[in-house]
Structure 1
Amino acid sequence: MNGGPGLSDRRGDRVVVVGAGLSGLACALHLVGAGYEVVVVERDDHPGGRAGPLDMDGFRADTGPTVLTMPELLDEALAAVGSSVRDRLELVPLDPAYRACFTDGSVVNVHTDRRRMTAEVSRVSGLREAVGYLRLREWLARLYRVEMRSFIDAQFDSVLDLLGADLVRLAALGGFGRLAPAVGRHLEDERLRRIFSFQSLYAGVPPQRALAAYAVIAYMDTVAGVYFPKGGMRAIGVAMASAASEAGARVLYGTAVQRLERRGERVTLVHTDQGERLPCDHLVLTNDLPEAYRLLGHWPRRPVPHRFSPSAVVLHLGTDRTWEQLSHHTILFGHRWGRTFTEIIDRGDTMSDPSLLVTQPTVTDPSLAPEGRHLLYVLAPAPNLRDGPIDWDTEGPRYRDQLVATLEKRGLEGLEASVRRERLVTPADWARRGLAHGTPFSLAHTFAQTGPFRPRNTVAGTSNAVLAGCGTTPGVGLPTVLVSGKLAAHRVMRRSTRERR
């Protein structure tokens, strides 16, 4: 084990991490790098959690996130064990980061390079909008610097932790206003406004109601840059798990946690379905939040009920052709953009005029499909099972046909005839994986579930259990779950140090 002789004689060195998703692996890397004995328990037979693999006869699809931003956060986790992204992955910067297509036939290529995007905005919308884009870009950068320091990469024990100079700076930047008006102050073209605000759907809140602070996601996408790892997004989990194992962590695949054994406020043993009894001085749970609370036998009281994000229908298609209008990431916006959020979030309906994210990773890495074939990942936002009680086992196939028909109308002629392999994933499938209310996006980022108001990564009634993942701080998204794992590791280290004094 990593950490040198005599470490196992010290109290507080044995940590069990439940879940080999990206937050759990980030946590494990930071802990094993600091000299702790770490066991990671994963129910699946592979690492990555929601960022896992789906193989369809030579088509190598990713099950979860398709957009990688802020790779320096991944590098930070790997650096904890003396490794790096460069050692483990081949990252390809995507240019354009996105291609946005609109129903009027216009196309905007979203470049992260300042000069190229300024020229693109000028081409599409004129010089005045290009000047507005530059102002928006500067505002996004200032917003990110404040938020990363004090609101994303930060522990919260109470609302008082929010107070300070950065709170004043965030307020002065308009971070507590609403996202859509904040973007609108810089841009008049409705197409550009969509490009810099659609990301709020990741946070589970429409742009009109989302905090302007969530423009930080647009910064990550449109300023910091979008990347793709050769081998697919699945390669991230593999790289992190390999680095953790080589540093001394023990990773148990195909192993589920059955129950926890407690002595007072301390969890002392983790019982698995393989009959193992894993002693622990500290426990890190990365399960979906309700499942983590269930294992601990605890559901904290809150002033308002938890609100969960919308879900998504994902259609994986292996095709025998491609289409020139598709970039690596292409957003096909519907005409009735504003109605989309009302239908999904307020009415619990599917989109009548779908806006879709289509990812074609074989544009960047042809090895993900058989020679001459291509892979499409079509994401359609949808209501979660609590907000929209749709019988997806019945409606799913019909909705699949609607999505394919919509894609053909939007320019992907011949799509149906080109399909050679496919897999449909609906909110019902997410629920079968144990995700609350059938959403992979966990709790929505409403004001009451943001920052110090979001469920904390500590749990009342337990003295050695810590949470990580998208349900706790800082929240949903690949960069933030990596931060979440680091914050959980730091909680363990602080408690371990305090206990040994």
Structure 2
Amino acid sequence: MAVGTRTVAGATDRVVVVGAGLAGLSAALHLRGTGRHVTLLEREDHPGGRVGVHRGPGYTIDNGATVLTMPELVRDALAAVGADFDSTTPPLRLHTLEPAYHARFADSSTIDVHSDPDKMVAEVTRVCGPAEARRYLDLRRWLARIFQAEFGTFIDSNFDSLLDLVSSRRAATDLARLTAAGGFGRLGNQVARRITDPRLRRVFTFQALYAGVAPAKALAVYGAIAHMDTSLGVSFPEGGMRTIAESMADAFTTAGGRLHLATTVTRIERSGGRARRVRTADGQAFECDALVMTPDLPVVDQLLTKRRQRPQRISPSAVVLHGTVPRRTSAGWGAPHHHTIDFGAAWERTFAEIAARSGRGKLMSDPSLLITRPAVTDPGLLITRGGEECEPLSVLAPCPNLDSAPFDWSVLTGAYTRELLRVLEGRGYTGITEGYVIDHIDTPQTWAERGMAAGSPFAPAHIFRQTGPFRRRNLLRHPANVVLAGSGTTPGVGVPTVLISGKLAAERICGTLGTGLAGKLPPTH
């Protein structure tokens, strides 16, 4: 549902999209589906953006997003040009993760997080008792209410101002429903009202970190993320998350779109209040009637205005270790799981440490970690290394961004990596210190080198003044034919939301999108 009415005025036949991340790919597919001539420019040698890839010795591993929810949004983007999961190269073959997450706690207890309500009731009953299982069902219903009241108007919709949210009858109705459900209270408080077990409370609130806010301070509207994670299901594509971008890129080029990889945009030429031409480092020039910008906001601002925008609060960052571990080592860690959230004993304190402002941030003193083992779901990702079978392994540790804690990561990375491995060894991941061969480490410094504000891959935090109508608008006034997409603009951070942001950007250029021109697309010149 499109609440906002503003679109790019004038001709929009030729569109250049900068950035072939999921937002740019989504925008390009939806635009191409309307018959426009679309050129997609990407500085890396592969599509994907934050759904990135690291090429290790003899293997590849996702070094960006690892959690896929609402895959129907990918299907919708492909359908805009008449493609589907089976028709692309590579095809998208999705596996539903069961459980979606395995949660481990400091007291050695575990909870498997199931999307199926009956399985989850049985699991909560096993761990917490039947009374808590009944409370879980109440929480599940509340999360669904938040999501249903929020999605159509506040996520999957363009809006131009606060007035849009009260002048539209449906928007006003959804706003009233969201208010009645307590959506503008605090997420932590709303969850605590419904369930009592502190372990379950963590399972249903840690998602606030995706939005860059501690659960105790996050608006309850971000229960929508928990609903996606814990009720709608988590999927994984064969070959890794990168196959999503590869499949979308294939559908785009098959439909006549032009994709230029390893092409860095260096300048936007303007005249008459509009962007007219995009120039790249290799000397190429691309004429445009409309322009979609998806890079991180500091890069966008540099290319468009050359002056700093209003300071924004940026989300905490992360250190992510990527490598392989022998299966003989990981076999001793118990039942294998694709995603394990290994919670430390501390909770509120760790959020305070990584989210502190103005140089007061600290590394987590008792870290909670996300451990990803994709070969558990896709054995095709196993490799032979040093004469033995190994599996890819990623370990993510949330940490302060560079505004919060301007650490010298060139000095700190080695010591902090050793500390994380020591913590994991002590939590039962026996042999990880010796067996884990780490090939790549992302830190706030590596994110910053890719143009991400304050060295965070999670973009501006979703605090109130950076949420919804207060977030950076996706349709600029100057230049008048430039539209933004990606995690820095509406609706925000996350795989589903950036896919939606690409579609919303296309709507700003085309108006309401139809069902696409499958089989009727003219060639791109």
TM-score by length of 2: 0.91
Task: Show the counterpart of 1:324.
Answer: 334
1:125 to 124, 128, 135: 128
Task: Show the counterpart of 1:351.
Answer: 364
Does the aligned pair in 2 maintain the 1:161–1:452 contact within 8 Å?
Answer: no
Query: Structure 1 residue 460: deviation in Å?
Result: 2.7
Query: Structure 1 residue 254: deviation in Å?
Result: 0.5
AA of the residue aligned to 1:470: S
AA of the residue aligned to 2:73: L
Does the aligned pair in 2 maintain the 1:300–1:460 contact within 8 Å?
Answer: no
1:366 to 379, 387, 398: 379
Shift >6 Å, 4+ stretches: none
Does the aligned pair in 1 maintain the 2:490–2:501 contact within 8 Å?
Answer: yes
Task: Show the counterpart of 2:313.
Answer: 307
Task: Show the counterpart of 1:199.
Answer: 207
Matches of 1:299 and 1:110 in 2, distance apart? 46
Q: Which moved more, 1:323-332 or 1:35-44?
A: 323-332
Task: Show the counterpart of 2:287.
Answer: 279
Q: In the alignment, does 2:450 pair up with 1:437? A: no
Matches of 2:501 and 2:307 in 1, distance apart? 20
Task: Show the counterpart of 1:224.
Answer: 232
Does the aligned pair in 1 maintain the 2:149–2:177 contact within 8 Å?
Answer: yes
Task: Show the counterpart of 1:340.
Answer: 350
AA of the residue aligned to 1:213: V
Matches of 1:290 and 1:55 in 2, distance apart? 27
AA of the residue aligned to 1:119: A
Task: Show the counterpart of 1:3.
Answer: none
1:91 to 89, 94, 104: 94
AA of the residue aligned to 1:282: A
Distance 1:123 1:255, change over 3 A: same
Q: In the alignment, does 2:177 pair up with 1:178? A: no
Q: For 1:73, what is the secondary structure of its paired residue?
A: helix
Does the aligned pair in 1 maintain the 2:52–2:65 contact within 8 Å?
Answer: no
Q: In the alignment, does 2:176 pair up with 1:159? A: no
Matches of 2:439 and 2:131 in 1, distance apart? 45
| Residue identity (%) | 53
AA of the residue aligned to 1:381: P
Matches of 1:68 and 1:46 in 2, distance apart? 19
Does the aligned pair in 2 maintain the 1:348–1:388 contact within 8 Å?
Answer: yes
Task: Show the counterpart of 2:110.
Answer: 107
AA of the residue aligned to 1:337: W
Q: In the alignment, does 2:138 pair up with 1:135? A: yes
Query: Structure 1 residue 58: deviation in Å?
Result: 2.0
Task: Show the counterpart of 1:4.
Answer: none
Q: In the alignment, does 2:424 pair up with 1:397? A: no
Q: For 1:159, what is the secondary structure of its paired residue?
A: coil
Q: For 1:85, what is the secondary structure of its paired residue?
A: coil
Q: In the alignment, does 2:501 pair up with 1:484? A: yes
1:455 to 438, 463, 472: 472
Query: Structure 1 residue 161: deviation in Å?
Result: 1.8
Residues 201-257 of structure 1: CA deviation (Å, up to 9, x unaligned): 000000000000001001001000000000000101000000000001100000000
Residues 411-459 of structure 1: CA deviation (Å, up to 9, x unaligned): 1010122123421111001111111110011100001011001011012
AA of the residue aligned to 1:331: I
Does the aligned pair in 1 maintain the 2:487–2:493 contact within 8 Å?
Answer: yes
TM-score by length of 1: 0.95
AA of the residue aligned to 2:207: Q
Residues 8-39 of structure 1: CA deviation (Å, up to 9, x unaligned): xx942100000000000000000001100000
Matches of 1:272 and 1:370 in 2, distance apart? 38
Task: Show the counterpart of 1:209.
Answer: 217
Does the aligned pair in 2 maintain the 1:17–1:284 contact within 8 Å?
Answer: yes
AA of the residue aligned to 1:162: L
Matches of 1:495 and 1:420 in 2, distance apart? 50
Residues 95-147 of structure 1: CA deviation (Å, up to 9, x unaligned): 00000000101000000001000000011001111001101111111211111
CA RMSD in angstroms comes to 1.6
Q: Which moved more, 1:87-96 or 1:186-195?
A: 87-96
Q: Which moved more, 1:407-416 or 1:469-478?
A: 407-416
Matches of 1:387 and 1:158 in 2, distance apart? 31
2:256 to 227, 248, 258: 248
Residues 320-373 of structure 1: CA deviation (Å, up to 9, x unaligned): 122324410000000011111110011311101000000100101122231421
Does the aligned pair in 1 maintain the 2:301–2:309 contact within 8 Å?
Answer: no
Matches of 1:126 and 1:420 in 2, distance apart? 41
Query: Structure 1 residue 479: deviation in Å?
Result: 0.3
